[in-house]
Amino acid sequence: MIDKLAFLFVEGIKNFTRNKLTNFLCIVTIFINFTILGTFFVLGYNTDNVVNFLRSKYTFEIFLNSETSLDQAVNLKNELSNNSLVTSVDFIGKEESAKIFYDEFGEDIVEVLGYNPLPTSLKVNLEENGFDANQVNTLIEEYKLNALIDEISYQGNYIDDIESRINLFIFAFLVLVLLVIFISIQIIGNTTNLSLSNRKDFIEILRYNGASNLFIKTPFFIETFLQSLIGSLLAFFLVKYGFVVINSYLGVNIEIDYYLWAWMIVLSLIISIYASGRSMKRILV
């Protein structure tokens, strides 16, 4: 049995080295398709991070008018803190605003203007669990009527919009994955067909000598396995190091899933073995 397996393995390797052109085409197909898939997978993986980031930013800021006293501001802060939609409220005084301004723009606004024009503000952190945009909007609309408040800055409305666009992106990604898988199956299947018809005589001779279908198929599967392994590994390295270069060049932090290599190899194997198995089934009845 071991000798038989060894023979089949060697046959698979021999086939692989003999049919250079068809194998090259197959590897290139897998490489291109999996580079596209891998890239979108990484982007999809990071989209999740973007959503999580946005969700962590569930806040709005209240800018109080210049006549608001400290007591009034503290009362407002306490009132907001007791609201069930709110987890906490940060008080940002005029001095702290000037400090934030300095940190962000490098200018001391008090020194430039001779007075501090920045308002006292309240940063309201919203409850993420069971977040309801409508309730938050109602709350904001209510407070906009408050005479102590000059302006309320809230970007939450964009979150829904961004999330819906992200969902569209994820949907497009899934469609693309299916499309790439379908194209891969067709191309790998056709390459296998070509390979099988090139070796029609070989298969016929094997059959006349008592080879079972499994015996005939095994070297083809080994060949397909090698094509998938090489194609998907090359794609993985391109995706991985491509994003490393992009990260350092653009100064962004696109994360790459640690198991990216594993799923790329496994998926390519499944696709290749399915595609070649389907082709063989048609020919090796």
Tell me how far, at minimum, the Cβ of 3 lies from other proteins, in Å: 5
Residue 40 DSSP SS3: helix
Residue 209 found at the interface with other proteins (CB under 8 A): yes
Residue 213 found at the interface with other proteins (CB under 8 A): yes
Residue 21 found at the interface with other proteins (CB under 8 A): no
For other proteins, give the closer residue by CB, 4 or 144: 4
**Under 8 Å between Cβ of 237 and 34:** no
Give how many residues touch other proteins by CB under 8 A.
19
Residue 285 found at the interface with other proteins (CB under 8 A): yes
Residue 281 found at the interface with other proteins (CB under 8 A): no
State how far the Cα of 10 lies from the Cα of 180, in Å rounded to an integer. Answer: 31
For other proteins, give the closer residue by CB, 2 or 112: 2
State how far the Cα of 248 lies from the Cα of 283, in Å rounded to an integer. Answer: 50
Residue 206 found at the interface with other proteins (CB under 8 A): yes
Of the candidate spans 41-49, 73-81, 199-207, 251-259, the one that interacts with other proteins by CB under 8 A turns out to be 199-207
- Residue where the block lists tokens 């599967």: 221
Eight-state DSSP code of residue 68: -
Judged by CB under 8 A, the residue of 123, 207, 240, 278 near other proteins is: 207
**Environment class of residue 76 by beta-carbon count within 10 Å: exposed (0-12), middle (13-18) or buried (19+)?**
buried
For other proteins, give the closer residue by CB, 57 or 200: 200
**Under 8 Å between Cβ of 234 and 27:** yes
Judged by CB under 8 A, the residue of 79, 151, 204, 255 near other proteins is: 204
Tell me how far, at minimum, the Cβ of 283 lies from other proteins, in Å: 14
- Alpha-helical (H) ranges within the chain are 2-18, 20-56, 70-81, 94-105, 109-113, 133-144, 156-198, 200-208, 213-250, 260-283
Residue 13 found at the interface with other proteins (CB under 8 A): no
- The residues that touch other proteins, with contacts defined as CB under 8 A, are 1, 3-4, 7, 18, 201-202, 204-213, 215, 285
